[in-house]
A and B are shown apart, each in its own frame.
Chain A
Amino acid sequence: MQVTAMHFKRKAAENLHNEKLQRALERLQSKFVDSRAAANAELPNFEEIRNAAAEIRRKVTENLDRYLLRFEQEATARGAVVHWAETPDDANRIVADIARQYGLRKAVKSKSMVSEECALNDHLASEGVEVLETDLGEYILQLAKEPPSHIVAPVVHKSKEDISDLFEKKHHRTRTTQIAELCREAREILRPGFLAAELGISGGNFIIAETGSVLIVTNEGNGRLTTTLPRVHVAITGIEKVVPTLEDVTTLLRLLPRAATGQSITNYVSVLTGTKGQKETDGAERFHIILLDNGRSRLLGTELQPMLRCIRCGACMNHCPVYQNVGGHAYGWVYPGPMGSVLTPAFVGLANALDLPHASTFCGECAVVCPVKIPLPDLMRHLRTRQMEQRLRPWTERAALGVWSWMARRPAVYAVGARIIARLLQLLAGDKKRLRYLIGVSGWTKGRDLPAPAGRTFRDLYKSGKSS
């Protein structure tokens, strides 16, 4: 997927004024935030389970190669073929080669964010393989030629009227705005696609070292159809998705659907191992598993290693006041919200996503709701530090911070400076006690007035309070 993360500020500003989008984003509160809280409240030992889940994921990131090798060994023993891909281009080439090897031209795909990283559909199209997205949200986006704006609810930015318009234009059927009828229409259009498909492409929510299995969670059943009907199944996932055992994945499954949509379990959980047996009458005959790195292994041994614990539930974006207001497209790549603000710079380069580590109020809610306890604000703060060190911030910002840091290390100078600045601001504000414009922070004052300091500095007040 093309990276447009450098335009975050402009797109965020546009989206703040997009009334339709704002109405759509209001649904996040009741549909995701409230239902997650209710679902977690059903687990009396939620915090204990969460600690165990974080520990499983932490352990995996510390021994990633060991678990991956065991996974590869088990999967291979069961007849699957495991491929390793360093880059999205490698992954795309592997899928195209598989399609060519077996002579496959028609593919169905269930939702896969890793395949979005690779822009796999475009590549396969250029190789003459037609890919049909089958998750309802992803199908709508394929028709609309748009990227997803949320990793769990990809069309959260669209209204049912938008979708009615789109279906009428593309399906040439009578227009309906009933959600159930829209779903029925998509089912009827997509079912023949499933039945005709020769290649099924899926992601993998987890891969299991113990058994060499790929685990997929879905609600619609498209994941099951994609991995059962076509004669070849290709699962593409990130190297960090491995978990040791069936018990470990069960612990994670108690949290993932609750954190994502407030469900106690998704409708379908499929554990796929090996290929169709000799006497079996359905199921894929060939099973290929692609493990994509694309920058993941480079996070190991750095401050960003905890990010590899992520299980892609989307809770951090649902609870983020920035995401809730600007929507997912502003982030400019596959992963939006706080997890995207860490992953995008890590995967596509800090210089290509300058604003993302700053797209946070540091309210800390993302870390509070993360089911695997990723300290997201700390990771964003770390990326900000790296930006300063690599001189990636504008010179004005660096100079201002330089002056501040010089003063902060000299308490006497700081006290005098703060007193002077407070007086200056009071003078500038005059009787209204508010500043409508202030040079240097015009971006801030453009949307609001700056209240002038009311009197003495905090340090002065503190000192006088103590002596009295």
Chain B
Amino acid sequence: MSARENILARIAQARNPRVEVDVDNEIRRHARGPIPPLEKDLVKRFCEQAARLASDVVSVATTSDVPGLVARYLNERRLPLKAVCWPSMASLDWRAAGIEVEPRAARGDDLVGITGTFLGIAETGTLMLLSGPTTPATVSLLPETHVAVVEKQQIVATMEDAWDRLRAEHRVLPRAVNFVSGPSRTADIEQTVTLGAHGPYRVLIIVVDGQVSGQ
């Protein structure tokens, strides 16, 4: 007998015959558990929580304001005006702001990575990023600075809401769903929190007021 058969046989043998659950039906229902109460203003909650987890959070009126803001942010920190970005973000006018962007997956020596966001989650101030041909996962991971653009209407209350949106818009899960909550960190040495472990040292979240840009 194979390991698989042995393990499954042992589990089946120990099973209480009176307990029988229709697993497929239960999964199809995917019932929610208890959810902590949240304030009404989800954008405010998202920004506060993201800032608490050490992201830099800035609001702008329209997406056309984004490149200029990114240029200022990089200049203030003496970071290069050179970035790798999601191909889905390449259409913004980066050149006008003086930023040289390459739309592709990131390499080990890229210093700035610019991404969009699938959704923002207000409960924890978290970015939800989906991997894909125009949204490579490495852009939010390898560079020391990660810039993420999220539009106001992309902010949902909880991860449960995010799963519902994902199920509605995508037939299956992408290879990687990455939830990002601030710069990478470690507390392994003397339990002292240090920002910038293997991923970004800093995360800039730009919240775009969608109503203005949608005019």
A416 is an interface residue with CB less than 8 A from chain B: no
Please state if A45 and B137 are interface contacts (CB–CB under 8 Å).
no
Please state if A276 and B196 are interface contacts (CB–CB under 8 Å).
no
Please state if B181 and A265 are interface contacts (CB–CB under 8 Å).
yes
B116 is an interface residue with CB less than 8 A from chain A: no
B21 is an interface residue with CB less than 8 A from chain A: yes
Partner of A195, one of B32, B108, B194, B200: B108
B23 is an interface residue with CB less than 8 A from chain A: yes
Bound form: Cα–Cα A254–B124 in Å? 10
A283 to chain B, nearest CB (A): 5
- B52 to chain A: closest residue by CB: A264
B172 is an interface residue with CB less than 8 A from chain A: yes
Q: How many residues of B contact A (CB 8 A)?
A: 73
Bound form: Cα–Cα A184–B144 in Å? 11
Please state if A267 and B181 are interface contacts (CB–CB under 8 Å).
yes
A159 contact set on B, CB distance < 8 A: 190
B30 contact set on A, CB distance < 8 A: 210, 244-247
Q: Which chain B residues (119-160) contact chain A, with CB distance < 8 Å?
A: 124, 126, 131-133, 136-138, 141-142, 158-160
A18 is an interface residue with CB less than 8 A from chain B: no
B24 is an interface residue with CB less than 8 A from chain A: yes
A15 to chain B, nearest CB (A): 18
Please state if A65 and B15 are interface contacts (CB–CB under 8 Å).
yes
Q: Which chain A residues (46-89) contact chain B, with CB distance < 8 Å?
A: 48-49, 52-53, 56, 59, 62-70, 78, 84-86
Bound form: Cα–Cα A138–B159 in Å? 30
Q: A221-B199, A298-B10 are in contact. Are A271 and B173 (CB under 8 A)?
A: yes
Q: Which chain A residues (95-153) contact chain B, with CB distance < 8 Å?
A: 134-137, 140, 153
A383 is an interface residue with CB less than 8 A from chain B: no
Q: A136-B186, A136-B197, A159-B190 are in contact. Are A52 and B176 (CB under 8 A)?
A: no
A78 contact set on B, CB distance < 8 A: 172
A446 is an interface residue with CB less than 8 A from chain B: no
Bound form: Cα–Cα A209–B196 in Å? 33
Partner of B19, one of A56, A63, A265, A283: A63
Q: A70-B24, A219-B185 are in contact. Are A49 and B33 (CB under 8 A)?
A: yes
**Stretch in B1-9, B62-70, B72-80, B88-96 with 4+ CB within 8 Å of A:** B1-9
12 A-B pairs (CB sep. < 8 Å): A62-B21, A78-B172, A134-B198, A140-B188, A153-B187, A160-B189, A160-B190, A219-B186, A268-B184, A268-B199, A277-B132, A293-B3
